A and B are shown apart, each in its own frame.
Chain A
Amino acid sequence: MTELVIIGGGPAGMSSAISAYENGIRDILILERDDKLGGILRQCIHNGFGLHKFKEELTGPEYAYRYEKKVKELGISVKLNTMVLEITKNKKIIASNSEDGIFEIEAKAIILAMGCRERAKGALNIAGTRPAGIYSAGTAQKLVNMKGYMPGKEVVILGSGDIGLIMARRMTLEGANVKAVCELMPYSSGLARNIEQCLNDFNIPLKLSHTVVALHGKERLTGVTIAKVDENRKPIKESYELISCDTLLLSCGLIPENELTKRIGVEISPVTNGSVVDQNRETVIEGVFSCGNVLHVHDLVDYVSEEAEIAGKGASDYIKGVNNKTVNIPISTDGKIRYTVPQIITEKKDTALYFRTSNPYRNVNINVYANDKLALSRKKQRIAPSEMEILKIDSKILEGVSKIRLELEEL
C-alpha cells in the first residue's frame, strides 16, 4: 500500500507532491510517462512563467526545474517512463514500464495530474487532400524546441491560442515565413501580450473571423484557402483567398486528458471536460483528487501550481483521516460565466473560486448569490475567456446556504 500516488509528473504533479510532503505525508510516488519530470513545460522554452509564484519571469524549463529540484531534495519517489493503464474505484493502479513490466499499486489516495492534449478538431472539418505538412502547434513546438527540426518554411496557423502565437514567433525567429494566423472567433483566445510580442513584432497578420476551408497539395502541402466567416461562423464564398504555404499549424485549444478518470466513474463536467471537484479538488470518489490541466485548462502555470498545492493538502488530510465536510453546496453559473472550479463546496471555509467567462466583456459586475440573495459583488473593467479569474469568498457567506450562483452583470 502506498499512501499517495500521483499520476503525472508535470507542474501539477510535482507541486501536489511537494504540498503533500509539506503537510506531513512521506509515502508518495509520482508516476510519469515521459523520461523526465516537467511535463509540457519542457518544451515551453519561452519566458513568462512564474511571475505570481516567484515574482520573476522564468522560462518553462526553469520553472519546472525549481519543482524538480525540490522533489529530488525531499526524496519523493518517482517512476519515469511509466504508463498508467488503469485505475480502479478502490484505488488500485495498474501501470507498466520496461523495468517492472505490468504492475499494481494500491493507494490510499490518488491525485490525477495527467494534463491535457491538443484538440485536433480543426483538422477534421477541412476539405481537400491530406498532404504532409500539417501539425498541431504543440507537436511543432516539440520538434523545433526539443529535436531541432523545423517543420516547414512557409507557415499558416489556424487558431490563435497561446501555443499558436508562441509558435508563430518561434518559427519566424528560426527563419520561417509565417504568413497569417486565422482565428474563427471575432477575438483571439490568446493573451494580449502574445499577440503583441509574437505577431505584431513581426508584422504577422491576425485574421479574426477567418478559417481555413481547403487544403491543397498532394504529397506536401502547397497552400490553403482561407475565408472570412459570418456571424454564424459560416465561410463567406466571396472572401476565399489562396495562401501558398508548406506548413499548417493547428492551435485549436486543449482538452483535459481524462480517459483514465472516466473509466472509474468520476463525474466529468461537460464544460471543463475535467472532473467535478470540491474546494479540496476531491472528485466524487473519496480519496481521488484532480488538479492542473486535467481538471480544467489553465492559461498560467502559476495557477496550476497553486491548485495542485490545494489538492496535495486535501489528499494529505484525507490520508490522515481529517474530515471537515459538513455541507454540500453546489455552485452554478449563468452561462456568461462558463464555469467555476470547484463546482461544489463541502467545507465551510474561505474558498477561492476559479472561473472563466464565455465571451470578452468590459465593465461588469461578478455577482455571487447565496440562496438567491446577493452576497458579494466584484467590479471588473475587462474580462476575457482567455484569462482565468479568481474570486475569494469568505466562509461567512456559506453560513446556512444550500446553493451558490455566479452571475455576470453587464453595466
Chain B
Amino acid sequence: MKRELTCIACPLGCSLTVTLEGKNILSVVGNTCPRGKEYAINECTAPKRMVTTTIRCENGELVSVKTSQPIPKEKVFEAMEIINSTIAKLPLTIGDVIIPDLFGSSVVATQCKE
C-alpha cells in the first residue's frame, strides 16, 4: 500500500510517498532531509503533534504556551481541555513549566509575564 503525505517538519512541505506492507514501512521517498523520513515513519505508526495555545493567568491575562514535545495526535483535544482548565501562576519566564506532565510532554510558557 502507498500513502501520500505532506511533511510538516519544516516550511518546505515536501510531498512524501510511503510504501507500507501492513504496518511495516518498506520505503519513504520525496523527503529532502532525514527529518522527513522520521516524520513519515511516525505519521504511519504513531502520529504526533505539537500543541500551541494559551493559558489563563491568575491576573486574568493570557500567556502563550506550547507542549515541549509533540504529543499523540489523538490526545490533542483532551490536552486542550486540561490546558484550558489550568490557571497559571505569575510571574512567568519563557520556558517555565506550567503543566509538568501532559501525555508524555510538559506545557511551557512561550512568553514572559510579570
Which residues does A use to contact B, with CB under 8 Å?
45-48, 51, 57-59, 61-62, 65, 144-148, 170, 173-174, 191-193, 195-197, 200-201, 299-300, 387
Q: By the criterion CB–CB under 8 Å, are B52 and A45 in contact?
A: yes
Q: By the criterion CB–CB under 8 Å, are B80 and A196 in contact?
A: no
CA distance A195 to B56 in the complex (A): 28
Q: Residue of B at shortest CB range from A190?
A: B13
CA distance A196 to B73 in the complex (A): 13
Which of B15, B49, B66, B80 sits near A197, CB closer than 8 Å? B49
CA distance A146 to B15 in the complex (A): 34
Which B residues touch A197, using CB under 8 A? 8, 49
Given contacts A51-B10, A61-B64, A62-B94, 9 further A-B contacts (CB under 8 A): A45-B64, A59-B52, A148-B54, A174-B53, A193-B13, A196-B6, A196-B13, A197-B49, A300-B11
Which residues does B use to contact A, with CB under 8 Å?
5-13, 15, 49-54, 56, 62, 64, 66, 73, 76-77, 80, 84, 94, 110-112
Q: Residue of A at shortest CB range from B84?
A: A174
Secondary structure at the B interface, as helix, strand, loop or mixed, is: mixed
Which A residues touch B77, using CB under 8 A? 173
Which A residues touch B62, using CB under 8 A? 145-148
Which B residues touch A148, using CB under 8 A? 54, 56, 62
Q: By the criterion CB–CB under 8 Å, are B73 and A65 in contact?
A: no
Given known contacts A65-B94, A148-B56, A197-B8, is B49 in contact with A47 (CB within 8 Å)? no
Which A residues touch B54, using CB under 8 A? 45, 144-145, 148
A278 CB to closest chain B CB (Å) equals: 28
Q: By the criterion CB–CB under 8 Å, are B110 and A59 in contact?
A: yes
Which B residues touch A58, using CB under 8 A? 110
A204 CB to closest chain B CB (Å) equals: 14
Q: By the criterion CB–CB under 8 Å, are B111 and A61 in contact?
A: yes
CA distance A62 to B15 in the complex (A): 29
Which A residues touch B111, using CB under 8 A? 61-62, 65
Q: By the criterion CB–CB under 8 Å, are B52 and A46 in contact?
A: yes
Q: By the criterion CB–CB under 8 Å, are B11 and A45 in contact?
A: no
CA distance A132 to B112 in the complex (A): 34
Which of B64, B73, B80, B94 sits near A174, CB closer than 8 Å? B80
